[in-house]
Amino acid sequence: MKERLDQILWKYGYVDSIDKAKRLIMLGAVIVNEQKIEKPGSLIQYSEDMKIRIKGQENPYVSRGGFKLKKAIDSFACSFQGKRVLDIGASTGGFTDCSLQEGAAYVYALDVGTNQLAWKLRQHPQVKSIEQCHIKELNWNILDGEAVDYMVMDVSFISVCGIFPYLLPFLTEEGKLLLLIKPQFEVEKQFLEKGIVRDSKAHQGILKKVIEVAERNGFFIQNIEVSPILGGKGNVEYISCFSKRKAAFTLEWDEILIKAKKMGGLR
């Protein structure tokens, strides 16, 4: 479905207000797929691989995913300085890029696909690109014989619940898993409306399920927040932090869902 460009800029986190989006577009500061567009009402078919640039506001990461991980790092008071990181579902490398910029000593960028990781990251001396590798194939040789300090994960078209069983041995005892939870890939099809999960009760059920499955596999929730950027098709997503140690943490469901509804699209 095509949407107004000003709505897209606001909806997907490029700007913090519709008015700002309109001003930037009219000033000729918005470039879509290398084409300048100067009408706020221009109808665009949005996709996650679309290249949107705002002059003077260049994305510091190779993809918008970097902003999501940055939010998690800041919200959950994580320090990547000198740490070893495993990026599960690396794709273009937004999480890998953010990890490096946050001071990671080394990043293992793992993905089932091929030729997706940004060229600058492929060539980076602190990055090991592991392509065409399913998480169930993860082994000590891939990680050079050592557990990692952080695991970061952003996967699509698969439930994260099926990934937890393969992770625990490869994370240090004090390590953390920063996980992006995408409801659109966790829910049954009847809850999808044109690819979007709009039912707030479904969102709550999804989060509870992920947390329960994680715990059965040795990961305990430490914190959870609404992602600052909407996912594909406008889905509200969640950033979360897990560790091997139980925490005295109580989820405030009402607060979480209120924040989610403010992002738009939920009822």
Name the more confident of 46 and 129: 129
Residue 14 has pLDDT above 90, yes or no: no
At residue 213 the predicted structure's pLDDT band, cuts being 50, 70 and 90, is very high
Tokens for 192, please give them. Answer: 């999808």
Query: How far is Cα 183 from Cα 178, in angstroms, rounded to an integer?
Result: 16
Q: Give the residue among 72, 131, 88, 127 at the shortest CA–CA distance from 105.
A: 127
Higher pLDDT, 33 or 265: 33
The whole model's pTM is what? 0.79
- Mean pLDDT, the chain, rounded, equals 89
The pairing of beta strand 106-110 with beta strand 220-226: unpaired
Average pLDDT in the 76-89 region? 97
Round to whole Å and give the CA distance between 177 and 262.
26
Phi, psi of 181 (to 5 degrees): -100, 120
- pLDDT tens for residues 110-160? 999 988 898 889 999 999 999 999 999 999 999 999 999 999 999 988 999
Reported as a single tens digit per residue, the pLDDT across 246-261 is 887 777 888 888 888 8
Q: Compare 12 and 45 and report the one with higher pLDDT.
A: 45
Give all domains of the chain, ordered by start, each with its CATH number.
Answer: 2-54 (3.10.290.10), 65-263 (3.40.50.150)
Whole-number Å distance between alpha carbons of 228 and 14: 10
Kindly indicate the confidence band of residue 174, based on its pLDDT and cuts at 50, 70 and 90.
very high
Report the pLDDT value the prediction gives residue 259, as an integer from 0 to 100.
Answer: 82
pLDDT at 52 over 90: no
